[in-house]
Structure formats: C-alpha cells, structure tokens
C-alpha cells in the first residue's frame, strides 16, 4: 500500500488561489483563439491582455491514481470579447463518466453545460453556489460579472480533459452574451456542428 501524506490547503479568496497546492497554470488570451464569435474584437483585445492571464488555476494533485481526487481554484478576469463574456476553454472529461463539483467563492459566474447530443444547461456559480457536473456533460465557465470570478473545483484524479470535443463541433451550441441590461443571455452559436452518432458513441466508449 502506497500512502500519500494527508495535507491541508486553504483558499485565498482575495488572491483567487489555493494556498498549499502543488501546481499552477495560466491561460493567456492568445491561447484562446477561436473561442469567441467576434474575431476582430478578439484581435483588438489581444493587445490589452498581453501580459495578464485571462484565467489561472492553482491545484492540489496528490496523484493521478484511480480513486484519488484533484482539487483546485480557478480565478478568471472579468471581460468580454465583443458582447461575449470571458470563458474557460471548456472540456469533457477524457474518461467521460467522471463527474465534478464546483463551489463559488467570489464574483458572478455561469457554468455552461452541453450533453454529447447537444442539450444545453446553465448553472449559477456565485459565492457559496455548488455546481454539480454530472457524468458525460461538457462544461465551461463564464465570468458574467464585473469583478474577478473565483471558484473551487474537485474531480476524480483519473478523469483527464478532452478539449477536442468542443473544437470539433465548432464550439458549444450556445454562447453566453451580454443581454444589454447588465445581465447575460444565451445565443445560438452559428458555427456549431452537431455531433454524429459515432462521436456520441465514442464519448460513451471512453469509459470502458
């Protein structure tokens, strides 16, 4: 039996970080090309966000063993590309039946979820909101507020992330855009291509 040492971490909500974790990565806007509908607005925004990560993840990854968990904190800047709110890249878990819990700490977020067949759901992700991502749902998060969005996540360590499922369908079926009244609304993504039966079957097969 290989024992892992128990460890305590804490969430620094002000800094939007997990203190005492083991890893960190940053996502720059230039790494998110193709996510947003308005390519001209994206090109203009690149100049403003040269040095600043759009989002940053600090996590605790004791191992990637089946049965272990990965815990982390994501901190996202507020902002829009055109009228579309800042987003995480989004993914389905590489082993697609692995679920996930998010817990909001600060700011105003929305989780956008899509089933392999293209059904859309949204969940609020503000302070003390718990968002449950069930098995097989593609998920990404938007910062729909005017301050930083900070949330915690926990998911099985063997889950992995498949980002290609969103790229192959031309994005998710809906976009999260400014409704013109200080809030947000869903808009159909004109570039969206429905998944074939073979693609949907491949999601299910990822678990066997």
- Told to check if 85 binds ligand S6P by CB under 6 A, we report no
Q: Interface residues for ligand S6P in 5-44 (CB under 6 A)?
A: none
Which of Zn ion, ligand S6P, none does 90 bind, CB closer than 5 to 8 A by kind? ligand S6P
Closest CA to 32 of 44, 42, 47, 41: 42
- In the complex, the smallest distance separating the C-beta of residue 8 from ligand S6P, rounded to whole angstroms, is 20
Residue 26 DSSP SS3: strand
Work out which of 85, 86, 136, 155 binds ligand S6P, going by CB under 6 A. 155
DSSP label of 13: T
Q: Which does 187 bind (CB under 5 to 8 A by kind): Zn ion, ligand S6P, none?
A: none
In the list 100, 108, 148, 162, the residue contacting ligand S6P (rule: CB under 6 A) is 100
- Determine contact, residues 89/32, Cβ cutoff 8 Å: yes
Task: Please give the Cα distance from 203 to 206 (Å, whole number).
Answer: 5
Of 43-51, 85-93, 109-117, 169-177, the segment contacting ligand S6P by CB under 6 A is: 85-93
Which range, of 11-19, 83-91, 176-184, 188-196, touches ligand S6P by CB under 6 A?
A: 83-91
Using CB under 5 A, list all residues that contact Zn ion. 100
DSSP H stretches of helix in the chain: 39-48, 164-168, 197-205
Distance of CA 192 to the CA centre of its chain: 18
What does the alpha-carbon distance between residue 33 and residue 144 come to, in Å, rounded to a whole number? Answer: 20
Binding site for ligand S6P (CB under 6 A): 57, 72, 74, 88-91, 100, 140, 153, 155, 161
């Amino acid at each position: 039996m290989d024992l892992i040492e128990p460890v305590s971490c804490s969430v620094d909500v002000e800094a939007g970080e997990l203190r005492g974790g083991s890893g960190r990565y940053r996502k720059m806007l230039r790494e998110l090309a193709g996510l947003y509908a308005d390519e001209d607005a994206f090109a203009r925004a690149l100049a403003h966000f040269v040095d600043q990560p759009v989002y940053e993840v600090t996590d605790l990854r004791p191992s990637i063993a089946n049965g272990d968990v990965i815990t982390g904190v994501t901190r996202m800047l507020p902002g829009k590309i055109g009228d579309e709110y800042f987003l995480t890249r989004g993914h389905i878990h590489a082993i697609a039946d692995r679920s996930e819990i998010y817990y909001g700490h600060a700011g105003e977020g929305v989780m956008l979820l899509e089933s392999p067949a293209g059904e859309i759901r949204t969940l609020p992700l503000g302070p003390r909101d718990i968002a449950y991502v069930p098995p097989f749902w593609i998920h990404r998060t938007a910062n729909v507020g005017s301050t930083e969005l900070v949330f915690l996540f926990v998911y099985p360590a063997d889950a992995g992330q498949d980002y290609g499922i969103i790229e192959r369908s031309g994005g998710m079926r809906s976009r999260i855009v400014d409704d013109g009244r200080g809030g947000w609304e869903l808009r159909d993504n004109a570039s969206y291509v429905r998944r074939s039966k073979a693609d949907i079957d491949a999601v299910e097969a990822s678990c066997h």
